[in-house]
Structure 1
Amino acid sequence: MIPHPTRRATLQGALAATSLLAMPGLARAQSRPLITHGVQSGDVAHDGAVIWSRADREARMMVEWATREDFANAQRVQPLDLGTPTDGTGKLTLRGLPSDQDIFYRVTMADLTDLNAVSEPVTGHFRTAPRTARDIRFVWSGDTAGQGWGIDRDRGGMRSYATMMRHRPDFLIHSGDTVYADGPLQPEVTLTDGTIWRNVTTDAKSKVAETLDEFRGQFLYNLLDDNVRAFNAEVPILAQWDDHEVTNNWYPTESLAADDRYSVKSAALLAARGARAFHEMMPTRQSQEEPNRIYRKVAYGPLLDVFFIDLRTYRGPNTTNREEGGTPFLGDAQIAWLKRELTNSDATWKIIASDMPIGMMVRDGEAAMENGANGDGPPLGREQDIAEVLSFIKHAGIANTVWLTADVHYTAAHHYSPDRATFQDFEPFWEFVSGPLHSGTFGPSGYDNTFGPEVRFAKAPAEAQGQNLPPSMGLQFFGLVDIAADTGVMKVRLMDVGDTELWSVELEPIRT
């Protein structure tokens, strides 16, 4: 009997396979398929999850799962044939799993021209969501490989992923900017201390992404990092997008005529390709009605529902954002969905995972505004969508909503209250900001008083440090959330890459 390989052994095999990516001819010459970029799980439920992997050729993706690490009780699911239309990537949805259970899964690839030629297996792990109350721990952050800071292996690669994994979270909420499709990498960057940052480089990261293959290459680049692949094999990813999955500050009707880097001038065309690559490369559950839809709910037992919103796809143009009649931000269909799902939620805590913060002012050039905030005063422009959601939450009696986000490349805790706000038809709530995971650090931002934000904590570069600080400066951030089964208390901690707790708060649930 051939012994089953350990998770460590199969992970090492996947890393060795990935080292051949720079030599595709050599990889192709292998007699058996290769799993090129490890495995991922995502959108975990009480009875299933999505499993992702990628082969170096047309292949049959075969997945087994078990509740034992030695796979003694393994069950195989229906295989999936992968071809060139998806660049060798595949997603399989596991169903019928036991709830609140450690699940070990194993992926192998068989060559479609010779099904006896099978890859080395790669294994992964996740825990299904509970049906009854249990302690929950998760992490969130955003912004991976931006502003010219890619994988420097001599500096440990994307170290935030290794730091997060030490906390053994149930899942990661990736709050957007999962890649930087508009951010080409230089092989070397000279830092202010005179040392050299040396990026791993690929063809896809040598220019802005325009073709579908170039967008795919943005995601595959991040998966070259040892820390990222090790994290993905152990922790489910619940991902949303923001702007850099397409191009900086984009909106659907935008023309890139003035940007000489792009031969494709339609932001809508770039967004369609970026969205397809996002869903091919991320372990997301996709909607039959709208396959590229980002917004969705992930239910995680009686204590937690997570509502992922999309502030990018349905927005109007970037203007001064002061239109009295409002301008689209979430869009009517998404607002209706969010109201309906919040109303139907029985979970103690309702996390609204947003790709942008509410009260921070982020500009797009001199006059235009990028997010919702637009300066002091009543809700105008995009703020009217936010006001509608907040007012609905109050009048529908929906308790215990917390907003989590990233985007601004520093970490902060914001408390919003009508007592400080111009618009007052809402209940007080918290918003927590974290990031970047592995990008340049910026900030701080300005705020407006429309919804009365109060900064309870913030950590951003000091004025003397400047902006776009490299990851080696240590100002890389993530959030850590614990929800206690016995009390329902949510503890939120803001952490840095060195695993230092910067600030924390405990939130008591309102019992309804």
Structure 2
Amino acid sequence: MVLDRRTLLRSGAIAGGGAALGLLGGGTASAAPGLVRRGRPRLTHGVQSGEVTGREAVVWARSDRPARMLVEVSRRPDFRNVRSVRGPVLTPETDLTGKAFLHGLPTGEDLHYRVRLADLDRHSLLSEPVTGRLRTAPGAKRDVSFVWSGDLAGQGWGIDPALGGYRIFKAMGAVDPDFFLCSGDLVYSDGPLAESVKLPDGRTWRNVLTAEKAKVAQTLADYRGQFRYNLLDANLKAFNARVPMLYQWDDHEVLNNWYPGEILDLPEYTEKRVDVLAARARRAMLEYTPTAIRPARNGRLYRKVSYGPLLDVFMLDMRTYKDANGPDDSPTQRDGLLGAEQASWLKRELSRSKATWKVIAADLPIGLVVPDGTAQEAAAQGDGKAPLGREREIADLLSYAKRHRVRNMVWLTADVHYTAAHYYDPSKAAFKDFDPFWEFVSGPLSAGAFGPNALDATFGPQLKFQQAPPHANTSPAEGFQFFGQVEIDAHSKTLTVHLRDIDGAVLHSTALTPAR
């Protein structure tokens, strides 16, 4: 039998149109549809956009069969005067997902896009379109607004449509942000769901279930299924179609508190090498999120995203370069969260940044003690004295920023499943060689709520606000879910942070005036 290119594409033997990411993986492709289908192709999980700057954006989609992705972009919602972009062929090699990379967009405008799929045999046979909207970064000073949070479908709390599903995305969409900064744990690959959970008030939480969410993820197919699960929620799909995403990962995309080189001693895992699991999770994550990361950029996850003259966002990766959890009390340690390459990059890019505000998107908090049993998971290790262990890497970064006059850094994070505002004051710190700054914490999106965590005095954090649940693993039905909103005023350049609850009510606000 002779196989032509079209047959190969359908079988997944050839990667489609630049959509394949070429990353190490394992397992088999998840439930690809049959090779012979009738009728039109179909978009299966809505659309997403991401990595939007003044001139560029990424648009994501998934097909129900091998098909060509087509994108049209317009200033008008009726799609008159469109620009057409020929996207990749979506094949089983990437679980039928793909991304179109848009270039040369007009700055500072609301743009409408729609995605169609073209049949590979009959090019005129098109799917029904799915539309979305994105807002490009301004070229001149303009008000900027974005939201952030993390942690979705964790601790056994998945999608319950009867209780509103992931209803926090309605509240986030209602503030009409320019983009959403996802601070990690977009999926919980290590958290199997049960069919139902009894709530304290007598009601029953009933999870939508899929095969992949009934067990821990290990194969590439399992990890892909984790991301597909969240896209079953109507609130999230509607939000994705209206608000671009900046995405960073944390631990639960792979499993709780993982670090490179770890070997598991957990009976539910047959694959014990965390590096193998992380490679599979990373591939699935890049397939299912609208990131612009490609192998040509060395596949690295840390990056800077410029959003006009008022804002640069520095997306950190505190997981790929992490050391093993322990007492975290070495007096000579040089890294353990960022790694030498990422730390050098961050220092260089901070000193070069001309933006008024430098937002540091960190997937782990700085001053909060985050225990991992008797070990430590984040930077703080709890003694409140001179920097030890991973604190030394943070101290080095903060000292560099002071010496090089890096002004107006604001740190945003999630991870600990409650919301708080911390002011880091060198006059009250054990380590004093830094300029004052703020760290804001907000989450979870829809997961078990916890906290509060203890603050370590090494960098002088002062608690200005916090709200945490009354008991551990409070369900989303009890309301202790949080997101943050950042607003930057174009005229005054004031940056205001609002900490909001599951319905969007403002719990606390802090207005920051930029230093000169």
Please give the TM-score of this superposition, normalised by the length of structure 2. Answer: 0.92
Shift of residue 499, structure 1, vs aligned partner: 1.8
Counterpart of 1:496? Answer: 501
1:194 matched to 2:194? The reply is: no
Asked if structure 2 preserves the Cα contact closer than 8 Å seen for 1:279 and 1:292, the reply is no
Of 291, 296, 306 in structure 1, the residue corresponding to residue 313 of structure 2 is: 306
Task: Measure the CA separation in 2 of the matches of 1:27 and 1:128.
Answer: 38
Counterpart of 1:469? Answer: 474
Asked if structure 2 preserves the Cα contact closer than 8 Å seen for 1:276 and 1:292, the reply is no
Per-residue CA deviations over 1:29-68 (Å, capped at 9, x if unaligned) read: 5511110000000010101200000001111001111111
Of 84, 92, 96 in structure 2, the residue corresponding to residue 76 of structure 1 is: 84
Of 383, 400, 403 in structure 2, the residue corresponding to residue 395 of structure 1 is: 403
Counterpart of 2:355? Answer: 347
Asked if structure 1 preserves the Cα contact closer than 8 Å seen for 2:185 and 2:251, the reply is yes
Letter aligned with residue 298 of structure 1: V
Shift of residue 77, structure 1, vs aligned partner: 1.2
Of 290, 294, 297 in structure 1, the residue corresponding to residue 304 of structure 2 is: 297
Task: Measure the CA separation in 1 of the matches of 2:281 and 2:274.
Answer: 10
SS in 2 for 1:221: helix
Shift of residue 116, structure 1, vs aligned partner: 3.0
SS in 1 for 2:124: strand
Letter aligned with residue 268 of structure 2: R
Counterpart of 1:16? Answer: none
Structure 1 outlier segments of 4+, above 3 Å: 23-30, 287-292
Shift of residue 111, structure 1, vs aligned partner: 2.2
Task: Measure the CA separation in 1 of the matches of 2:468 and 2:192.
Answer: 25
Counterpart of 1:262? Answer: 269
Letter aligned with residue 166 of structure 1: A
Counterpart of 1:320? Answer: 327
Letter aligned with residue 357 of structure 1: P
Task: Measure the CA separation in 2 of the matches of 1:289 and 1:51.
Answer: 19
Q: How many residues align?
A: 485
1:221 matched to 2:232? The reply is: no
Of 104, 109, 126 in structure 1, the residue corresponding to residue 112 of structure 2 is: 104
Task: Measure the CA separation in 1 of the matches of 2:182 and 2:466.
Answer: 20
SS in 1 for 2:283: helix
Counterpart of 2:176? Answer: 168
Shift of residue 79, structure 1, vs aligned partner: 2.7
Alignment of 1:319-468 (within 5 A): 319-326=326-333, 327-366=335-374, 368-376=375-383, 377-462=385-470, 466-468=471-473
Letter aligned with residue 501 of structure 2: D
Asked if structure 1 preserves the Cα contact closer than 8 Å seen for 2:33 and 2:64, the reply is no
Letter aligned with residue 312 of structure 2: D
Letter aligned with residue 370 of structure 2: V
Counterpart of 2:292? Answer: 285
Counterpart of 1:14? Answer: none
Asked if structure 1 preserves the Cα contact closer than 8 Å seen for 2:33 and 2:65, the reply is no
Task: Measure the CA separation in 1 of the matches of 2:218 and 2:356.
Answer: 43
Shift of residue 26, structure 1, vs aligned partner: 10
Q: Pick which of 284-293 and 54-63 moved more.
A: 284-293
Of 271, 275, 281 in structure 1, the residue corresponding to residue 278 of structure 2 is: 271
Counterpart of 2:211? Answer: 203
1:235 matched to 2:256? The reply is: no
Asked if structure 1 preserves the Cα contact closer than 8 Å seen for 2:413 and 2:441, the reply is yes
Counterpart of 2:59? Answer: 51
Asked if structure 2 preserves the Cα contact closer than 8 Å seen for 1:390 and 1:425, the reply is yes
SS in 2 for 1:320: coil
1:505 matched to 2:510? The reply is: yes
Per-residue CA deviations over 1:401-446 (Å, capped at 9, x if unaligned) read: 0000000000000000111111111011000000001100000101
Task: Measure the CA separation in 2 of the matches of 1:174 and 1:164.
Answer: 12
Counterpart of 1:123? Answer: 131
SS in 1 for 2:223: helix
Of 176, 187, 193 in structure 2, the residue corresponding to residue 179 of structure 1 is: 187
Per-residue CA deviations over 1:250-287 (Å, capped at 9, x if unaligned) read: 0001111x201111101111111111111111111114
RMSD over aligned CA atoms reads: 1.6
Task: Measure the CA separation in 1 of the matches of 2:280 and 2:119.
Answer: 28
Letter aligned with residue 262 of structure 1: Y
Change (3 A) 1:483 1:318: same
Task: Measure the CA separation in 2 of the matches of 1:496 and 1:26.
Answer: 44
Letter aligned with residue 275 of structure 2: A
Task: Measure the CA separation in 1 of the matches of 2:219 and 2:421.
Answer: 38
Shift of residue 291, structure 1, vs aligned partner: 4.8
Shift of residue 27, structure 1, vs aligned partner: 12
Change (3 A) 1:216 1:493: same
Asked if structure 2 preserves the Cα contact closer than 8 Å seen for 1:64 and 1:77, the reply is yes
SS in 2 for 1:274: helix
Shift of residue 171, structure 1, vs aligned partner: 0.4
Asked if structure 2 preserves the Cα contact closer than 8 Å seen for 1:275 and 1:292, the reply is no
Counterpart of 1:9? Answer: none
Task: Measure the CA separation in 2 of the matches of 1:280 and 1:29.
Answer: 24
Task: Measure the CA separation in 1 of the matches of 2:205 and 2:284.
Answer: 28
Per-residue CA deviations over 1:57-86 (Å, capped at 9, x if unaligned) read: 111001111111111110111331111110
Shift of residue 114, structure 1, vs aligned partner: 3.0
SS in 1 for 2:459: coil
Of 141, 159, 162 in structure 1, the residue corresponding to residue 167 of structure 2 is: 159
> What are structure 2's unaligned runs of at least 5 residues?
1-30
Shift of residue 498, structure 1, vs aligned partner: 1.9
Task: Measure the CA separation in 2 of the matches of 1:141 and 1:286.
Answer: 21
Shift of residue 290, structure 1, vs aligned partner: 4.8
Letter aligned with residue 467 of structure 1: A
Asked if structure 2 preserves the Cα contact closer than 8 Å seen for 1:53 and 1:89, the reply is yes
SS in 2 for 1:164: helix
Change (3 A) 1:296 1:24: closer
Asked if structure 1 preserves the Cα contact closer than 8 Å seen for 2:35 and 2:65, the reply is no
Shift of residue 496, structure 1, vs aligned partner: 0.2
Shift of residue 457, structure 1, vs aligned partner: 0.3
